Structure 1
């Protein structure tokens, strides 16, 4: 009775389902410790794939977080109204009362307009040939323009109730660079429309109204008095409450030009940034595909390592089988070794990927964002790759008969 009980206890101890996780890790780690260089190179293949995937997702997420931050700062409730074309294909015009009519819409909080001053050129001085205008547009501007489009002045001041009636001009960021002007003052002037205008300010880049970057902005009354401006607005910028953006957008055309709403174009500048974000997502998908290929290559490396390990350790397998190890235990040994190898590579790749994301975001002054699903998915992917790569070698090792394995030279 005692002998039978002892045999049952020994059988239960050797049973695969009786092996504790710690035993599997210890047995699986023994094979990695005896071949450190090969294990390192195999884990490196997995690490490169996981690092590539984590870094791609992290950098893309950080970029989108920066875009979202900019949109939150600038506001996504900006709508623009511009003239379209008539039924005959000619350029239409917005009514002179368009801005006043739009301002009566209840949810609208701010309205400002610019008007293109046609046939008016801008030069650094009066000695430059007329054909070298540089493509700078002259626009009449309302005083509320800056606050409406979320722009700021980097040098000098914006137009006010006094300066908008006199030959004073504010330059867009690209215009100032094109004219070689970095400072403002009473002595800084440009030749605009056949007369001198004093530069009183330079704007910073305007993300939601990029057309202002390459413009020279003058006051509305000054444009009518000193230049050939007919007073018709060409672009009306409208700010509204966030919940009412779509409702206001639906009525803007009919409000701006009740007689011909079909001749009015309404757009949302932030949609361009959203489109750019969608493009980034498509590019991210491409890079994720490349990361998956790298991960697959790493899995092949793990499988190759495990197959070679089985071939080299046939004598060890035969000895363990002779001492009573079951096929399940042999299979568990090599499968746990493969999983451990993949897990080490995955953990290292995740750390590298997060570090690369943080470093790149720091250089771009972006917030560092690495989604939790990316890190968790990376670890899960490595375990799946490890299980798939180690399954065949583990089954092959378990099928070796003790006598066949021990007979291997």
Structure 2
């Protein structure tokens, strides 16, 4: 007689039937792999969330910032950067932000009655309007120089400069405090937050580029250029900046190296990737061993069922497909439960810590896919062993 062919749906139903009739064992088996998958997601998602918060802090430290200035030489030999420097640098493809400052060599005082030689160790800098974006600076009070104020006698104080001048706050609606720069009174329109990346800006009073030229006798040549570029191209930008800024003698322009935070960021990413791969492998291996053990025991306990089905005409392929389906179902259920549990636990912990919740897609999708693959691998040998049993062997062993 020609054996009856079972469709794919029939084989899946048989596999589900084996799982549903042994609910406690199936639950315990799925629990093993779900714990493994959940652990994998937790130990990857939590470091990913922590890493995301860390990388935000590292990025704030200027991992993509460069500083270009003339090489210090004798006073009469130091080059002057061209007035067109900002435009030249801005045309470099990977550059996202550029700004410049220049020492006006003038003195700032709180009053015109104080000693003109006493500048409290502060510098007066002519500044382009995009300086804060280039150095990741923030305004503590008031506002920074813009196109409407850069030609007027207005000034912005660095954090240390404000403290030394005794101007610690700006009250909206009241007259702005005044500082005496050179021979001109300037109204203070802003105070900056601390900026550890730019200590020279913290100890400076910034005035507009146009105001410095018209009121302070500034010659228009920048002394420091700040550049932000795409992080992956920062080394290339650093290489071309000297020739871009001073093409006559590029060697007379020095460019600061990228922040050491960039190296720390890249090392953190490499360590994170290696950790993820190692933990994923261990978790899936443990889950696969649990499923394989369950399927082997299932084959031993169900020899009578195998013998009866073989005696009634079931083929080896049908017997093997049934047990392989059970292994995949067990792993799939464990993978779904583990992925759900891991995502919830990771998101909850990240929220509690105040971190951005980051669930690596490779961990979530890979965990479920890996569980199914492990289920197939773990079920192959038990299903082959069950399929090789003849009816007489299976019934004789019961």
TM range (shorter): 0.5 to 0.7
Rounded to whole Å, the distance in 2 between the matches of 1:284 and 1:297 is: 20
Residues 100-145 of structure 1, C-alpha deviations (whole Å, 9 max, x = no match): 241352845853226699xxxxxxxxxxxxxxxxxx9978462532
- Tell me the residue number matched to 1:103: 86
Contact 2:61–2:259 at 8 Å: present in 1 too? no
Structure 2 residue corresponding to 1:211, chosen from 176, 188, 198: 198
The 3 A distance-change label for structure 1 pair 102 and 239 is: farther
Does the alignment pair 1:35 with 2:26?
A: no
Matches within 5 A, 1:25-174: 25-54=12-41, 56=44, 60=48, 79-83=66-70, 95=79, 97-98=80-81, 100-103=83-86, 105=88, 107-108=90-91, 110-113=98-101, 140=125, 142=127, 144=129, 145-149=131-135, 151-158=137-144, 161-164=152-155, 169-171=157-159
Rounded to whole Å, the distance in 1 between the matches of 2:124 and 2:359 is: 41
What SS does the corresponding residue of 1:210 show, helix, strand or coil?
coil
Q: CA deviation at 1:338?
A: 0.4
- Tell me the residue number matched to 1:129: none
Contact 2:68–2:256 at 8 Å: present in 1 too? yes
Residues 245-299 of structure 1, C-alpha deviations (whole Å, 9 max, x = no match): 9997655313545665324333585996597256325413322321221111100
Rounded to whole Å, the distance in 1 between the matches of 2:323 and 2:138 is: 65
The 3 A distance-change label for structure 1 pair 236 and 58 is: same
What SS does the corresponding residue of 1:151 show, helix, strand or coil?
coil
Rounded to whole Å, the distance in 1 between the matches of 2:341 and 2:201 is: 42
The 3 A distance-change label for structure 1 pair 112 and 384 is: same
Does the alignment pair 1:276 with 2:265?
A: yes
Structure 2 residue corresponding to 1:302, chosen from 279, 286, 291: 291
Residues 54-85 of structure 1, C-alpha deviations (whole Å, 9 max, x = no match): 563797499669979x98x9999965314557
Contact 1:184–1:201 at 8 Å: present in 2 too? yes
What SS does the corresponding residue of 2:137 show, helix, strand or coil?
coil
- Tell me the residue number matched to 1:253: 242
Q: CA deviation at 1:50?
A: 3.4
Provide TM-score, normalisation by structure 1: 0.63
Structure 1 unaligned segments of length 5 or more: list them.
1-6, 118-135, 189-197, 224-230
Q: CA deviation at 1:158?
A: 3.6
Q: CA deviation at 1:350?
A: 3.0
Rounded to whole Å, the distance in 2 between the matches of 1:245 and 1:40 is: 53
What SS does the corresponding residue of 1:100 show, helix, strand or coil?
coil
Rounded to whole Å, the distance in 2 between the matches of 1:49 and 1:19 is: 34
- Tell me the residue number matched to 1:192: none
- Tell me the residue number matched to 2:216: none
Structure 2 residue corresponding to 1:335, chosen from 324, 331, 336: 324
Does the alignment pair 1:22 with 2:5?
A: no
Provide TM-score, normalisation by structure 2: 0.65
Structure 2 unaligned segments of length 5 or more: list them.
92-96, 106-120, 178-186, 213-219
- Tell me the residue number matched to 1:397: 386
Contact 1:94–1:257 at 8 Å: present in 2 too? no
